[in-house]
Amino acid sequence: MKAFTLFFASCFAWLSYAQAPSANFTISDPDGIICQGDCIYVVNNSTGNDLTYLWTFQNGTPSTFVGQNPGPVCFNTASTTGPFAITLTATNAQGALSTITNIITVLPMPTVTSTLSDTLNGVYLVIPDTTIDMFQEAYLYAEGAPFGGNLTWYPSGVSADSIPGCTACIAGDSLTVTPFYTTYYVVQYGLNGCFAYDTVLVTVNFANQVKIELPNSFSPNGDDENDYFRVLTNVDADGNFANGFEEGGALAEIDLRVFNRYGQQVFRTTDVKEGWDGTYKGKPMNPATYTYILNFRTIDGRSGSRKGNVTLFR
């Protein structure tokens, strides 16, 4: 369609025309389906000369926009009774206009509620978060709505088989855990490509079951036995209680310093796995008794310090 305008001046007349507008736009989500609370972008593909634009977004924020390309448009209300309309009107300088409407479906966000159950005299009690003693079980349960979605747990510090292709995630509405240390458990509920999340916290009471020891002697002679002076705990590197003492499995932080009899510092480390090999600046130290000072924090948040002596034998 073309619009024509006649111009007269003196004895002359001429005819000009302007191309009628053709409104068109695309949506950043090509299938026109988004989740409640999501934002979209629209791209103006209209054709014509000297155009002005008016956008309207049903139940969107903003609801209207004047200009070529609006920024993000967010939909915080689900389209429970039908899709929402997005309308663009393009108008040229001669007043000719073109209007196009596309629709977008806003899926309601699912909801999920996760709880913990603990037992009292054999009866399960539902609680939001809980504190358990070490080796005690906690039963986690989640419900998602509307019905028909999938629940997935994302735990940390729990012994369980994970789903192939998903690192440390476990499908299902319930989970029995025996965490070694205080752990957050996140549950995800997915429905129609929309996701909701909730968390529960299981606090572990160590009840002073984690023990820390430092040897009173060591012999760095290269026989792979007692070659290092290091901090030992009754927890192994995999977070399991050990029958004896092993290098710092229960330590979150340490500051270990060793001094000779003159008060000179000959070793220092903040690595929970590092030990002193009996050298100073690369040279073996003489057999003698040395003083150590240790500051530490265990994985359950307990802090402490130790001071003592260790004898180096060769």
**What pLDDT, on the 0 to 100 scale, is given for residue 160?**
43
Read off the pLDDT of each residue in 212-228 and give the average, rounded to a whole number. Answer: 90
Q: Which is more confident, 246 or 30?
A: 30
Q: Tabulate helix, strand, coil % of the chain (nearest 5).
A: 0, 55, 45
Read off the pLDDT of each residue in 56-61 and give the average, rounded to a whole number. Answer: 96
Q: Give CA separation, 300 vs 199, 230, 235, in Å.
A: 20, 20, 12
- Stretch among 57-71, 74-88, 161-175 having the lowest mean pLDDT: 161-175
**Which residue, 126, 99, 103, 102, is CA-closest to 115?**
126
- The two three-digit tokens of residue 302, written as one number: 């307990």
The confidence band for 28, taking pLDDT boundaries of 50, 70 and 90, is very high
How large a percentage of the chain has pLDDT more than 70? 79
Which domains, and CATH codes, for the chain?
2-107 (2.60.40.10), 111-205 (2.60.40.10), 212-312 (2.60.40)
CA 248 to chain centre: 27
> Other CB atoms closer than 10 Å to residue 286's CB: what's the count?
9
pTM across the whole model: 0.55
Q: How far apart are CA 113 and CA 188, in angstroms?
A: 10
**What pLDDT, on the 0 to 100 scale, is given for residue 122?**
46
pLDDT per residue over 274-293, tens digit each?
A: 999 999 999 999 999 999 99
Q: How far apart are CA 74 and CA 102, in angstroms?
A: 16
Q: How far apart are CA 143 and CA 128, in angstroms?
A: 13
pLDDT per residue over 142-155, tens digit each?
A: 888 888 888 888 77
